[in-house]
Structures are given as structure tokens and as C-alpha cells.
């Protein structure tokens, strides 16, 4: 899930899976919905 963090007085929304930070919570949620960082490297 997306977590919030405050840095220099600015709230950031962080993807828990990969650590990417967003200033818009919707951007963060949309990113995380498509984030596959949680999945291990897989073989095809």
C-alpha cells in the first residue's frame, strides 16, 4: 500500500513495493496498482 512521508515540510506518497515517491496520492496509487517490484524476477 501507499505510505505517506514528510520531507522538508512536503508530504510524499511512497510506493511500499519499490520505494518510488510521488507528490500526488493518486499518482502513487496508480503506480502501485501497476508496480511489479513485489514480484521476484521470473523466467519466461
> In whole angstroms, how close is the CB of 24 to Zn ion at the nearest point?
14
Nearer to Zn ion, 27 or 35 (CB): 35
> In whole angstroms, how close is the CB of 42 to Zn ion at the nearest point?
17
E strand residue ranges, the chain: 2-7, 10-15, 21-22
Residue 4, CB-side half-sphere exposure with 13 Å CA sphere = 7
Beta pairing partners, 10: 7
Nearer to Zn ion, 20 or 29 (CB): 20
Residues that bind Zn ion (CB under 5 A): 15, 17-18, 20, 35, 37
Amino acid at each position: 500500500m501507499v505510505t505517506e512521508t514528510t520531507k522538508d515540510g512536503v508530504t510524499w506518497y511512497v510506493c511500499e513495493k519499490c520505494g518510488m515517491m510521488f507528490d500526488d496520492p493518486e499518482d502513487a496509487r496508480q503506480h502501485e496498482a501497476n508496480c511489479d517490484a513485489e514480484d521476484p524476477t521470473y523466467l519466461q
